[in-house]
Amino acid sequence: MHAIQEILGQGFMITGFVMIMMLVIEYLNVLTRGNWDRVIAKWGIGQSFLCSFLGATPGCLGAYAVGSLYIHRVVGIGALTATMVATCGDEAFVMLALFPKTALIIFAALFAGGVLTGIAVDMIQRSRTSNPQPTLTDMVSAHPEDPRCTPFSAREFLSQWKNCSPQRGWLTLFLALFLGGIISGTIGHDHASHEQASEPSVSVEHHDHGAQCTHGAADETQLGEWDWVRITLLALGLIALVIVATVPDHFLDQHLWHHLVKIHGWRVLLWTMGAVAITHMLVNSMDVTELLANHKLPILLTACLIGVLPSSGPHLVFVTLYAEQALPLSVLVANCIIQDGHGLIPTLAHSRRAFFGIKAFKFAIGLGLGLLGHAMGW
């Protein structure tokens, strides 16, 4: 029962955040008559810098945000790849707790690697097609010539709630349930349970500052506590609720319901739930610590293969083992490059080709750099 609750909680959190981000993006698109996404779409190399920075921030929210921009065709495949190379998912929080100095160096290196990778992917894409960047026709049109397509109308506000449409009612109900789940702690990341489920039995005594560190410190980030992730989700949910409550019926029906919900919503939900459930079963059916100790395959290859899992949790084994000086830096770096937490799951609903292509590309880079680091003795 606990496993089902965890799968549903993670699935609804990811789906809710992605859909809210897309709703806000669509609102900004109409509010600015399509000008803001035109600017970002024309940034080129700047997209890789921005998205690598979002990916390098601890946690999965930055990766989700870029995934939403990609699904909305505001940024290209290069920017998405840059994000996924730069991110360490929720493992970044534990890395900062156990070996902060080394963790910051790794994050900086991943940020730089993400930028270079994003630029390289864009160059490859540009050489294969004459129009690699999103165009205005690819995006949802703001059609500013239509007076009904406005983000807010004070004259219509009361009348549209007196005659509330089913679409407005369903979206309001979904957002209310999402906010209720965030406030109650039902929806969100449970960092502590991930770490307890996947960490090796030996304790971590020291990190690179020489201070003692125990696993009990990880318990400070509990599901019921108001960390920055939970606060961010609550704030975005409230913003989305205000948008749904105030936009005219035409905007809500054409832009939010028919485009976001009917085209993207159910796909993101089903693929997210499926990916989280399958990953949860795989992680709980294998003893990663025993795999590292007894499997015939090299530890580096094991770290790379586990890095492919679209999850936050099993990668913590390599974080804690490195903190104990039981793993070389090359293995940890390889795993960090390949893994992206839950960040790439929303893309799975939009494009399986992009999902598996990015995973394969990162696997090749991570394994190659891991082998190079192993040969150099680090």
Question: 79: Cβ–Cβ under 8 A, 6 or more apart, which residues?
Answer: 47, 48, 50, 51, 66, 69, 70, 118, 122
- Classify residue 322 as left (phi > 0), alpha (psi -120 to 50) or beta: alpha
Integer Rg of the chain from CA = 22
pLDDT, mean over the chain: 75
Average pLDDT over residues 306-326: 78
Q: Is the dihedral of CA 32, 33, 37, 41 positive or negative?
A: negative
Write the burial class of residue 193 (CB in 10 Å: 0-12 exposed, 13-18 middle, 19+ buried): middle
Identify the weakest region by mean pLDDT among 44-53, 89-98, 143-152, 318-327.
143-152
The whole-number pLDDT of residue 266 equals 72
The whole-number pLDDT of residue 109 equals 94
- E-strand ranges in the chain read none
- Range among 99-103, 181-185, 213-217, 373-377 with highest mean pLDDT value: 99-103
Tell me the whole-structure pTM to 2 decimals. 0.64
Cα separation values, 47 from 292, 301, 317, 321, Å: 38, 32, 32, 35
Q: Coil, helix or strand for 215?
A: helix
pLDDT at 238 over 80: yes
